[in-house]
Amino acid sequence: MRGISWAGVTVLTVAVAISASLVLTGNGGERDWSTNPLVERGRQVVEACTVCHAIARQDPPRVGPPLWGIVDAPKARTNGFGYSAALAAADGVWDDASLDAFLRDPQAYLPGTAMVFNGIADDADRAGAIAYLRTQAAQ
Ligand code: HEC
């Protein structure tokens, strides 16, 4: 069930600093997904995740598990990552429905999760985030 390896968090401080500066500068049209409004909306929503997660394949490791290729991937797939007992024991894959539920309220969907995030209340924001994550493939 596990697919990829955890490379560690040695560059976490640098990654957080870069994320902070990207937020401050707005990180304008670095990637252009603007042909799909839902994906573009999701790109902006997912900015909130980048402080803890690598989103693209080339992003450095962060405090959370990497999210490239996460849509339809097995839960708790990253070898060596220190998942909570709750997530480590979770079955199945991160399909649209489970991602939607988790991102709406992480603690409600997965009590005991180590993901300290309040959730995304807006339905279209969650749909956009999932659509954007789908563009970040595993290759
Ligand atoms: C404060 C840090 C933080 C933020 C912000 C955050 N996450 Fe997480 N996320 C984590 C941690 C830590 C875990 C591991 C949770 C566990 O083990 O229970 C995790 C786990 C996940 C997982 C499961 C991955 C797997 O390998 O099974 C997904 C999917 C996910 N996060 C998506 C997101 C998305 C999308 C956002 C932004 C909307 C986000 N997270 C925001 C820290 C964070």
Mean pLDDT of all residues in the chain?
84
What are the sequence ranges of the domains in the chain?
4-135
Q: To 10 degrees, the CA torsion angle through 40, 5, 115, 133?
A: 10
For the Cβ of 121 lying below 6 angstroms from any atom of ligand 1, the answer is: no
Confidence (pLDDT) at 74: 98
Cβ neighbours around 117 below 10 Å, total: 16
Q: Mind listing the pLDDT tens digit for each residue in 34-78?
A: 579 999 999 999 999 999 999 999 999 999 999 999 999 999 999
- In the CATH scheme, what is the homologous superfamily, with its name and number, of domain 4-135? Cytochrome c-like domain (1.10.760.10)
For the Cβ of 51 lying below 6 angstroms from any atom of ligand 1, the answer is: yes
Positive/negative CA dihedral, 69, 70, 75, 77: positive
Measured CA to CA, the distance from residue 127 to residue 99 in angstroms comes to 9
Ligand 1 atom nearest 90 alpha carbon: 27
For the Cβ of 93 lying below 6 angstroms from any atom of ligand 1, the answer is: no
Helix (H) or strand (E) run with residue 5 in it:
strand 4-5
pLDDT at 137 over 60: yes
For the Cβ of 38 lying below 6 angstroms from any atom of ligand 1, the answer is: no
% of residues, the chain, pLDDT over 70 = 76
pTM: 0.82
Q: Residue whose CA is closest, atom 6 of ligand 1? A: 49
With H, G, I as helix, E, B as strand and everything else as coil, classify residue 17: helix
Displacement of CA 3 from its chain's centroid (Å): 16
Confidence (pLDDT) at 18: 42
